[in-house]
Structure 1
Amino acid sequence: MNKKFFLLPILFLGLFLGSCSDDDVEEVVDRIRTIDDIPVSETASVDYLPINLFEIPIETDVNLRQALEDETGTDETIDQVEDIELDDLDITLVSADDQENFDFVNSVTLGVRTDELTYKEIAHLDEVPTGQTTIELSTTDEYLDDYAKSESLKLVIKFESTEDANNLEVRLDMEFDAKIDPSL
């Protein structure tokens, strides 16, 4: 009887260690090589945004390559970065001559493009809440690998507005997620 009690903890330990599947190991490896919440902040401005129902685009350059290099500590990993996606986006009204908040905006769309690649939508807000000076856009699950590695990346902000805005300046606070594949 004592031998049974002695073997019982060994049996449980064996079952516990044997229950770790290859999927669990793969998940741990994925977490190790995943970079979450890479911060990027950009400012965009336009002298005059007229009333428009067709989302007039405002473009600004962004250097996501540099943000990735800063996060990884080297520029050699840029070709190893994959599955880059926008995880979070807040747009803050920095200033406007005749607006105190985003009440002049119905909807906002954010996209990216490069000199070589076409426009791709990556975030949107269909109805802007009233009285807000900062708005959070819903992001898509689009991967931006080729865009992020380009040296000509541009953010394209499209506002559908109900009122004019003069000397409009907004700040985009973004967070990106990416994975590093050392085999590339």
Structure 2
Amino acid sequence: MKKVLLLFPLAFLLLAMGCEKIDDLLTFNIEDSQNIKVSGGFPIGLVPVTPLTVPTKSEEKFSTEGTNANLVKKVMLTQLTLTVTDPSSQNFDFLKLIKIYISTDSNDKVLLASLDNVPLGVKTISLEPTKAVLDKYIKAKSYTLTTEAEIRKPISSDITLRCDTRFKVTADPL
């Protein structure tokens, strides 16, 4: 009887370790890159940037990874970087703070990532991802990125930014 009682904790420990390994095997990244245009002529202050609709192509990625949307149990943003691509002489000196939200037609807008103090003299910034669970947004056919930014100095000409995202996806095995 004592041997059986000792086997239960051991079996539970092995099962728990096995579940972590299974989660690791069923975890993959979805990466995407979009261009965002910031129109010139904005004065100093808080400025909303035109919403950007992003097709997810998630069904294709799920299929490649041997899963489908019904088996996805958790999606979180792990990285969001913005890079000034045009004009080549531009950096982020114009920007004081930025917040990027994600939404779909049927889901509420949720803060995706933000950066409160944009450093001076840099062409690339990494925003701080929130801990929001994003399953319903990534499973949708498309989602919308909405940006709020506080401008540090007036923008005289259009600026093009590249937005690179990485989402960590974990699926169930069956």
For normalisation by structure 2, the TM-score amounts to 0.82
Q: 1:34 aligns with which of 27, 30, 34?
A: 27
2:100 aligns to what? Answer: 110
1:92 aligns to what? Answer: 83
Contact 1:43 1:169 in 2 (8 A): yes
2:139 aligns to what? Answer: 149
Larger Rg: 1
User: Please, which runs of 5 or more residues in structure 2 have no aligned partner?
Assistant: 1-9
Q: Write the distance in 2 (CA, Å) between the matches of 1:76 and 1:105.
A: 40
1:120 aligns to what? Answer: 110
Question: What percentage of aligned pairs have identical amino acids?
Answer: 25
What's the offset of the Cα at 1:182?
4.2
Q: Write the distance in 2 (CA, Å) between the matches of 1:22 and 1:52.
A: 57
For normalisation by structure 1, the TM-score amounts to 0.78
Q: Is the counterpart of residue 63 in structure 1 residue 30 in structure 2?
A: no
Contact 2:26 2:170 in 1 (8 A): yes
Contact 2:30 2:61 in 1 (8 A): no
1:159 aligns to what? Answer: 149
Q: CA RMSD in A?
A: 2.5
1:43 aligns to what? Answer: 35
**How many residues align structurally?**
164
Q: Write the distance in 2 (CA, Å) between the matches of 1:140 and 1:29.
A: 25
- More deviation in 50-59 or 145-154? 50-59
What's the offset of the Cα at 1:115?
1.4
User: Please, which runs of 5 or more residues in structure 1 have no aligned partner?
Assistant: 1-17
Distance 1:134 1:68, change over 3 A: farther
Q: Write the distance in 2 (CA, Å) between the matches of 1:72 and 1:132.
A: 38
